[in-house]
A and B are shown apart, each in its own frame.
Chain A
Amino acid sequence: MRPERKLSRLLPPNMDAAQVKGWIIALLTIVALLCSILFLCRYPEDYRDLFWYWGSKYQRIMPGAIMPRFDRYAILTVYVTGGALLLTLASTALLYSSYYQGSRSIYLMRRLPDGRSLLRRQIWSVPLRVMGLLLLLGVVLLAATWLVWRFVTPAQCLPTPGNIQQAMKDIAASPYSKQLP
């Protein structure tokens, strides 16, 4: 069965399945792009701060340099996905209002022998499925960004207890810290 046809069986009859499919694809794409862009804005900047640079070719990890914890990047995905989830939840109002557009087809729905359950299904089925997809996408994005954070960041800069302890020692041994009172 074509996806649009399958979708049209889940939606209120007044909704255009092709259009809804377009909205769903657009929403998932925007979430994926926005999360990726925000991560790509934040992570490379933090990564660059781990190094000392000489000219354009030479770089060395700064003693005591530690990458921020993964929460700093994960929160972006959580906010964007959470916003998209709220938007999807709000779309149930749009689906319900479709029974009042151009006619009062709500009267027909309420006259059906299985009207109440059908009404609930038509309003909730697609948003709940989209919310499931969004959660899945959020998990995939978190996993992808975690992999980058974990394996692109130099091992000695990851904020592990051992690295943090080492960083504290490096900072204490630094000639700058000896100038402190």
Chain B
Amino acid sequence: MIELKNVSKKYGKTKAVKEISITLPQGQIIGLFGENGAGKTTLLKCILGLLSHEGTVTLDGAPITEKNIERLSFATCEHSFFPALSPKGHRDFYQAHFPRFNDKRFQALMKFFELPMDKPLRAFSAGMKNQFEVVMALSQGADYILMDEPFAGNDVFNREDFYKVLLGILEEHETVLLSTHLLEEVKDFISRAVLLNKGELVGDCTVEELEAQGKDLMTYVKETYHYRNDRVSRALSDLTGEEG
């Protein structure tokens, strides 16, 4: 289990993440939602130790260090692969450094996305790069797979098919923490939603809890963010001068 206790991150005087405390148990697909600048990426980087922060992040009670970092993988829209290496080169690299690298899953996902094995990554299209980033994060053999807008720029068919494949391949011990704007697309795949707003944790709810309350994820998110249903009609009436 990953446990965050009072995690805060400041950029100068701006607090990007404010005292967040949550736990991420094994075997969940968790959606991390929030508008741009809500602190989603910063939070993921704090968990991975890529950013210095206040508060503590532990994995099964131990701080995240070189000893246990291999249990976490990361797919980011900034990409973390080596552009000069081919997928084959990456496979060799991962196999050399991650003892639990899942070659079978790697091969299957490469085939699923129809990605070439011998081309350097810099020659891939933006969409293919995103796909490859996700392939590596899922094949590393990590227990916790952190994804930050992994499919920004990919077409909808690829994304939908991928989520179906993701559900099919994940093992019980694997946790996915998926940061995305595409709430509608992932609402049927996630088991829990964590909501951030201006760096603060404003919602944390499992799908079962929502079902028990008779709510769907979209309603929960709109309520949490105090979404105003008349926002569009008011804006249009202001612009056109007509009554909405």
Contact = CB atoms under 8 A, between A and B. Distances in A.
Interface of A: 12-16, 101-108, 110-116, 118
B226 to A, nearest CB: 35
Contact of B81 (A16, A105, A113, A118): A105
Question: Which DSSP category, helix, strand, loop or mixed, fits chain A's interface?
Answer: loop
Contacts of A106: 80
Contacts of B84: 13-16, 102
B83 A101 contact: yes
Closest 6 CB pairs of A and B: A102-B83, A103-B79, A107-B80, A13-B82, A108-B80, A104-B78
30 contacts: A12-B82, A14-B83, A14-B84, A16-B84, A101-B83, A102-B79, A102-B122, A103-B80, A103-B81, A103-B83, A104-B79, A105-B79, A105-B82, A107-B74, A107-B80, A108-B80, A108-B81, A108-B82, A110-B48, A110-B49, A111-B48, A111-B69, A112-B69, A112-B70, A112-B97, A112-B98, A113-B69, A115-B66, A116-B66, A118-B97
Nearest to A112: B97
A115 B93 CA distance: 12
Interface range, B side? 20 to 34
A110 B69 CA distance: 9
Nearest to B93: A13
A63 B82 CA distance: 69
A16 B120 CA distance: 12
B74 A13 contact: no
Given A111-B70, A111-B74, A116-B66, 6 more contacts: A12-B82, A108-B81, A108-B82, A110-B50, A111-B69, A111-B72
A104 B49 contact: no
Nearest to B78: A104
Contacts of B85: 13-14
A97 to B, nearest CB: 13
B188 to A, nearest CB: 30
Interface in B73-106: 73-74, 76, 78-85, 89, 93, 97-98
Contacts of A115: 66, 69
A154 to B, nearest CB: 58
B139 to A, nearest CB: 13
Contacts of B13: none
Nearest to B84: A14
Contacts of A12: 82
Contacts of B89: 13
- Give the one of B74, B82, B122 with max A CB within 10 A: B82
B131 to A, nearest CB: 14
Contacts of A113: 66-67, 69-70, 97-98
A104 B66 contact: no
A111 B98 CA distance: 10
Contacts of A13: 82, 84-85, 89, 93
B82 A103 contact: yes
B50 A114 contact: no
Contacts of A16: 84
A110 B70 CA distance: 10
A14 B76 contact: no
Nearest to A99: B82
Contacts of B67: 113
A116 B69 CA distance: 12
A142 to B, nearest CB: 38
Contacts of B83: 14, 101-103, 105
A105 B84 CA distance: 11
B158 to A, nearest CB: 20
Contacts of B97: 112-114, 118
